[in-house]
Amino acid sequence: DVKVTQSSRYLVKRTGEKVFLECVQDMDHENMFWYRQDPGLGLRLIYFSYDVKMKEKGDIPEGYSVSREKKERFSLILESASTNQTSMYLCASSSPRYNEQFFGPGTRLTVL
Protein backbone atom coordinates (compact mmCIF):
# COMPACT_ATOMS: atom_id res chain seq x y z
CA ASP A 1 0.00 0.00 0.00
CA VAL A 2 1.48 3.33 -1.09
CA LYS A 3 2.09 5.67 1.75
CA VAL A 4 2.76 9.39 1.39
CA THR A 5 3.24 11.32 4.60
CA GLN A 6 3.62 15.01 5.33
CA SER A 7 5.44 16.49 8.30
CA SER A 8 2.54 18.50 9.73
CA ARG A 9 -1.26 18.55 9.38
CA TYR A 10 -1.58 22.11 10.67
CA LEU A 11 1.00 24.88 10.78
CA VAL A 12 0.78 28.51 11.89
CA LYS A 13 3.60 30.87 10.96
CA ARG A 14 4.26 34.60 11.02
CA THR A 15 4.82 36.80 7.97
CA GLY A 16 8.47 36.76 6.94
CA GLU A 17 9.29 33.41 8.55
CA LYS A 18 11.04 30.66 6.59
CA VAL A 19 8.77 27.62 6.38
CA PHE A 20 9.68 24.02 5.57
CA LEU A 21 7.07 21.47 4.52
CA GLU A 22 8.31 17.92 4.17
CA CYS A 23 6.92 14.97 2.25
CA VAL A 24 8.05 11.35 2.38
CA GLN A 25 6.91 8.44 0.19
CA ASP A 26 7.75 4.79 0.68
CA MET A 27 7.08 3.35 -2.80
CA ASP A 28 10.34 4.24 -4.53
CA HIS A 29 8.50 6.64 -6.86
CA GLU A 30 10.61 8.75 -9.17
CA ASN A 31 8.09 11.60 -9.45
CA MET A 32 7.08 13.87 -6.59
CA PHE A 33 4.85 16.93 -6.66
CA TRP A 34 3.79 19.85 -4.49
CA TYR A 35 0.33 21.32 -5.01
CA ARG A 36 -1.57 24.14 -3.47
CA GLN A 37 -5.33 23.69 -2.98
CA ASP A 38 -7.63 26.70 -2.73
CA PRO A 39 -11.46 26.67 -2.98
CA GLY A 40 -12.66 27.03 -6.56
CA LEU A 41 -9.15 26.81 -7.99
CA GLY A 42 -8.57 23.08 -7.84
CA LEU A 43 -5.08 21.72 -7.37
CA ARG A 44 -2.35 23.96 -8.72
CA LEU A 45 1.15 22.61 -9.25
CA ILE A 46 3.91 24.52 -7.48
CA TYR A 47 6.94 22.34 -8.23
CA PHE A 48 7.66 18.91 -9.61
CA SER A 49 10.67 16.59 -9.25
CA TYR A 50 11.33 13.63 -11.53
CA ASP A 51 14.55 12.47 -9.90
CA VAL A 52 16.90 13.24 -7.03
CA LYS A 53 18.19 16.81 -7.27
CA MET A 54 16.02 17.41 -10.36
CA LYS A 55 13.17 19.89 -10.21
CA GLU A 56 10.87 21.74 -12.54
CA LYS A 57 8.65 24.75 -11.94
CA GLY A 58 4.92 24.25 -12.03
CA ASP A 59 2.21 26.81 -12.63
CA ILE A 60 2.69 28.91 -9.47
CA PRO A 61 6.35 28.67 -8.30
CA GLU A 62 6.75 32.28 -7.20
CA GLY A 63 7.64 32.56 -3.52
CA TYR A 64 8.50 28.85 -3.22
CA SER A 65 11.55 26.65 -3.65
CA VAL A 66 12.06 22.90 -3.30
CA SER A 67 14.72 20.41 -2.35
CA ARG A 68 15.07 16.73 -3.21
CA GLU A 69 18.26 15.28 -1.77
CA LYS A 70 16.91 11.75 -1.38
CA LYS A 71 14.48 9.87 -3.60
CA GLU A 72 11.87 9.41 -0.89
CA ARG A 73 11.83 12.98 0.41
CA PHE A 74 10.65 16.19 -1.24
CA SER A 75 10.65 19.47 0.68
CA LEU A 76 8.77 22.67 -0.08
CA ILE A 77 10.33 25.88 1.23
CA LEU A 78 8.68 29.23 1.69
CA GLU A 79 11.65 31.58 1.92
CA SER A 80 9.66 34.44 3.47
CA ALA A 81 6.08 33.50 4.23
CA SER A 82 3.35 35.93 3.26
CA THR A 83 -0.37 35.97 4.13
CA ASN A 84 -1.33 35.08 0.55
CA GLN A 85 0.45 31.75 1.04
CA THR A 86 -2.16 30.69 3.57
CA SER A 87 -3.53 27.53 1.97
CA MET A 88 -3.72 23.74 1.96
CA TYR A 89 -0.53 22.15 0.62
CA LEU A 90 -0.66 18.65 -0.83
CA CYS A 91 2.26 16.44 -1.74
CA ALA A 92 1.95 13.57 -4.22
CA SER A 93 4.14 10.90 -5.78
CA SER A 94 3.89 8.67 -8.83
CA SER A 95 5.73 6.24 -10.99
CA PRO A 96 6.32 7.59 -14.52
CA ARG A 97 5.09 4.28 -15.88
CA TYR A 98 1.58 4.47 -14.46
CA ASN A 99 0.84 8.20 -13.96
CA GLU A 100 -1.48 7.63 -10.97
CA GLN A 101 -0.58 10.12 -8.28
CA PHE A 102 -0.81 9.20 -4.60
CA PHE A 103 -1.45 12.08 -2.24
CA GLY A 104 -0.34 12.88 1.27
CA PRO A 105 -2.85 14.03 3.91
CA GLY A 106 -2.10 17.71 3.35
CA THR A 107 -0.72 20.53 5.48
CA ARG A 108 -3.00 23.43 6.26
CA LEU A 109 -0.69 26.43 6.57
CA THR A 110 -1.86 29.70 8.08
CA VAL A 111 0.42 32.73 7.79
CA LEU A 112 -0.45 35.54 10.20
Partner 1 sequence: GENVEQHPSTLSVQEGDSAVIKCTYSDSASNYFPWYKQELGKRPQLIIDIRSNVGEKKDQRIAVTLNKTAKHFSLHITETQPEDSAVYFCAATISSNTGKLIFGQGTTLQVKP
Site residues, partner 1 (CB under 8 A): 30-31, 33, 35, 40-45, 48, 50, 56, 58-59, 90, 94-96, 99-101, 103-106
Choose between 63 and 106: whose C-beta lies nearer to partner 1: 106
Smallest gap from Cβ 65 to partner 1, in A, equals 18
Smallest gap from Cβ 85 to partner 1, in A, equals 19
Query: Beta-strand (E) ranges in the chain?
Result: 4-6, 10-13, 19-25, 31-38, 42-51, 54-57, 64-70, 73-78, 87-94, 102-103, 107-111
Choose between 46 and 81: whose C-beta lies nearer to partner 1: 46
Spatial distance between the Cα atoms of 37 and 106, rounded to a whole number of angstroms: 9
Choose between 68 and 104: whose C-beta lies nearer to partner 1: 104
Smallest gap from Cβ 31 to partner 1, in A, equals 4
Choose between 38 and 79: whose C-beta lies nearer to partner 1: 38
Spatial distance between the Cα atoms of 93 and 4, rounded to a whole number of angstroms: 7
Which among 105, 25, 38, 11 has a CA at the least distance from the CA of 72? 25
